[in-house]
Amino acid sequence: MNKELNSIGINKKASDTTVVVAMSGGVDSSTVAGMLKKQGYKVIGITLKLYDDGKEVADSKQCCSGRDIMDAKRVAHKLDIDHKILYYQNKFKQGVIDNFVESYLNGETPIPCVQCNQTVKFKDLFEVSKELNADALVTGHYVKSITSNDGTNMYRAIDENRDQSYFLFNTTRDQLNYLRFPLGGLLKDETREIAKQLNLNVADKPDSQDICFVPNGDYATVIQKFRPDSFQKGNIKDLDGKVIGVHDGIINFTIGQRKGIKVSNKEALYVLKIDADKNEIIVGSKENLGKQNIILKNLNLLVDKKEFENDVLVKVRSTGKLLDAKVILNDQNNANVKLKVQEEGISPGQACVFYSRDKLGYKVLGGGWIKE
């Protein structure tokens, strides 16, 4: 007898389906847990403790704080679901924080949220979910996953202001087939309304804004904590190689930055390049910020290479727009990206994510890390 697929695309009744929900303590993942519980699934909530902030009960704009863990516990108790806390501080430091620090010291602008999803959240939580014999790992990310005969594909969320596909480009095919994203078809306001209907105490909780281990966005202090030797003075040069100033450490700068250069000039100066080997900052006018050719490394492709025979769309920063481009894949897991129109502020260490448009929306094709 054929069974109909349940609401998360599995060939079982909801009551026979076990799901692990990654519960951060925010409204999104809490709502996902509540929705699935109400639909009759066997829900196990798992919350990750990723770092020691020393402020376990303080209000915080960061995700995964001590307060968030307590909120997740309260939601799980309210929903009457099993709840586990995994203490991954060491894994998180090794896989995310150390990479973040080294990336800045190399003159890059890292995205720790991608590293966190790639390592701790999906890789390790994926393995734990399998050990618990769960049928799926479910998260509160705003992306869509659509399953067809050729497997599961990732699409941008309906709510483009909340879409998180940029941060999930490094998801593997195996992970994608196991993951579920129930909020991809909802607007944020709709999620909050469902949370209120479920009487969840986090329904009006503000969204996290800062990187979880970077209080108030002060990343320089974090880097100084782990690498106190990183603040070394160096030269600021113009495009002709002339020394026009001195900086207090390259970690204080990112590509496209204007503030903090502290060099007198007739026109505004912007950071054009960071040379970590020479400990130098190269600055110039805004018109020099534009770039049309990008070199990528460490690609992760979610589709067949033939999909790149045509032009695609790319996104070069999390808050950026989709740009028309041609992607040329190389044999060494690298790629050359040629933008149709110049884009400003493209920075090494950021991701370049590929998309194509079809009748179902904007499909994520994969992406890579910007090398130069």
Annotated catalytic residues are 116, 212
CA distances from 254 to 109, 162, 231 (A): 6, 24, 15
**Which value, in Å, is the radius of gyration of the alpha carbons in the chain?**
22
Instruction: Work out whether the CA dihedral 66, 70, 71, 72 comes out positive or negative.
Output: positive
Two tokens at 195? 């949370």
> Other CB atoms closer than 10 Å to residue 294's CB: what's the count?
23
Two tokens at 23? 């519960």
Asked if 159 and 42 touch (Cβ cutoff 8 Å), the reply is no
Which among 167, 192, 372 has a CA at the least distance from the CA of 275? 372
Helix, strand, or coil (residue 73): helix
Chain mean position to CA 70: 24
